[in-house]
Amino acid sequence: MSSVTAVSLLPAEFHVVIDREACLQCGRCVHQCGWNVYSWDRALERPVPNHSRCVACHRCVTFCPAGAITVKKNELAFKHSENMPPELLKAVWKQAETGGVLLTGMGNDRAYLRIFDHLLLDACQVTNPSIDPLREPMEMRTFLGRKPDSLEAVITPGNRQPGALQLDAQLRLETPILFGGMSYGSVSLNVHRALAWAAQELGTFMNTGEGGLHPELEPYGDHIIVQCASGRFGVDVNYLRAGAAVEIKIGQ
């Protein structure tokens, strides 16, 4: 059985240059590098660098007896931008490649990352001092719907408990996050299916956008908000009844 090696699409941040005429082929760079940047090519009888592993610690530069190694900034790496700095771009790419979430602490001097997985929720602190937030339960359940200006509890002499409150229909969100409207057609059925499944798993809702609802998504109706826009694309009675709520769009 042949093995498959994953190849990262992230551009290397640094580029290792070896002066082949000056190189003594001693292999010291291979043994000294703590990041496994270098490997020894037996056919060529010389070290070969893997640029993507280099962190520019310059240990190889220091220990090379011939001074044959230079570490340069890769000109093809991500360019600096105030809105999308290289650290943010690398985090997004890394999460896309691995499917994992990069955990970071909030007690650092860098700006908060502006991606979905780092959405900051200003939650109350349950304990003092706080426990690891990955283990400390927090209540984030939210209800969307019309609420009365005031609540009146009627207590009778024989019953000291107030009766059940009658409220308008409410949408119950286990997490205070909704998937915004992206119409079927502007995105594929696979995207809509993934959003509907995620909304069901997370206990929240996805918005169909103004492109209607594919029949395959009707089983997810309890977690779908159907949108009715001025174009009325795909809008009929069955569509309006298929979701948990109807959003009326009156402008872009």
Q: How many residues comprise the chain?
A: 252
Report field, pTM of the whole predicted structure over 0.75: no
Which residue bears the tokens 């890769």? 74
Which residue type sits at 104?
A: T
CB under 8 Å to 190, separation ≥6 — which residues? Answer: none
User: What is the average pLDDT across 167-179?
Assistant: 86
Instruction: For residue range 62-120, list pLDDT tens digits in order.
Output: 999 999 999 999 888 777 777 777 777 878 888 888 877 665 554 444 555 555 666 65
**pLDDT at residue 153 in the model:** 66
Domains and CATH numbers, the chain: 14-73 (3.30.70.20), 86-118 (no CATH), 172-248 (no CATH)
DSSP character at residue 184: B
Confidence of residue 131 (pLDDT cuts 50, 70, 90): low
Which residue bears the tokens 């909030």? 106
**pLDDT at residue 76 in the model:** 81
Q: How far apart are the first and last CA of the chain?
A: 54
User: What is the average pLDDT across 154-174?
Assistant: 72
